[in-house]
Amino acid sequence: MALMLSVSATNTQRKEPKLNPENKIFIITLDGLRWEEVFRGADPKFINDPSLADTALTKALYWANSQQERRRKLMPFFWNVLARQGQLYGNRDHKNYVNVSNPYSLSYPGYSELLTGEVDFSIWSNEKKTNRNDNILDELNELPAYKGKVAAFTSWEVFPYILDKRQDQTGFVLNAGLQKIEGRQLSAAQSLLNTLQGHMHGETDTRYDELTYIACKEYILKNKPSVVFLSFSGTDNAAHSNRYDEYLQEANNADRMIGELWRMVQSMPDYAGKTTFLITTDHGRGKKKKNWSEHGILVAGSSQTWFALLGHTIPSYGEVKSKSQAYQKELNKLIKEILAR
Backbone dihedral region of 313: left (phi > 0), alpha (psi from -120 to 50 degrees) or beta?
A: alpha
Q: Is residue 16 part of a domain?
A: no
Residue 181: predicted pLDDT: 74
Are the C-beta atoms of 133 and 112 separated by less than 8 Å?
yes
Q: In whole angstroms, what is the distance from residue 23 CA to residue 225 CA?
A: 11
What pLDDT does residue 336 have?
95
Shortest CA distance to 302 belongs to which of 123, 89, 105, 125?
A: 105
pLDDT at 261 (0 to 100): 98
Residue 324: Cβ within 10 Å count: 15
3-class state of residue 319 by DSSP: strand
Q: Which CATH number do you get for residue 139?
A: 3.40.720.10
Provide DSSP, 69-113: HHHHHH-HHIIIIIHHHSEEE--GGGTEEEE-SSSS--HHHHHHH
pLDDT number for residue 56: 84
- 51 CB burial (10 A radius; 0-12, 13-18, 19+): exposed
In a domain, 332, yes or no: yes
Residue 254: give the domain boundaries.
2-7+24-340
In a domain, 17, yes or no: no
Q: What integer pLDDT is reported at residue 2 of this predicted model?
A: 42
pLDDT along the chain (341 residues), means of 10: 41 67 97 98 88 78 96 98 98 98 98 98 96 96 95 96 77 86 71 64 77 94 97 97 95 98 98 98 96 97 98 97 98 97 90
Residue 15 lies in a domain: no
Q: Is 12 among the domain residues?
A: no
Domain count, the chain: 1
